[in-house]
């Protein structure tokens, strides 16, 4: 996987990578990560990814991170891990 660029954001670590004919957008928050793959042929300019990372999309990402944390905590509690 080849690193293309970091995409600045105040709450997440966002990285753009290229691998196997796809752009990969990795969004990290604490111990959680969301990954999105985009076919390179569907995107002429990788900087267009910035446009896709708009407020409505990142609001959903934030919500999903919260759901991921809830799921993880509940699983740990069910098994007396935490």
Looking at residue 62, which CATH number applies to its domain? 3.30.67
- In angstroms, the CA 11 to CA 30 distance is 10
- Of the candidates 48, 30, 51, the residue with the CA atom closest to the CA atom of residue 40: 48
Contacts 24+ apart (CB under 8 A), 27-30: 27/61, 29/65, 30/65, 30/69
| pLDDT tens-place string over residues 27-64 | 999 999 999 999 999 987 878 899 999 999 999 999 99
- How many domains does the chain fold into? 1
Which residues form the domain of 40?
Answer: 2-78
Contact status, residue 15 vs residue 7, Cβ threshold 8 Å: yes
Give me the pLDDT at residue 47, please. Answer: 80
Q: C-alpha 61: how far from its chain's center?
A: 7
The structure's pTM equals 0.91
């Amino acid at each position: 996987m080849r690193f293309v660029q970091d995409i600045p954001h105040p709450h997440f670590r966002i990285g753009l990578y290229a691998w196997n004919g796809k752009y990969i957008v990795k969004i990290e928050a604490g111990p959680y990560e969301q990954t999105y793959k985009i076919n390179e042929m569907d995107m002429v300019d990788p900087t267009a990814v910035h446009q896709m990372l708009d407020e409505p999309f990142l609001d959903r990402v934030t919500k999903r991170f919260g759901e991921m944390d809830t799921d993880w905590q509940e699983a740990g509690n069910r098994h007396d891990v935490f």
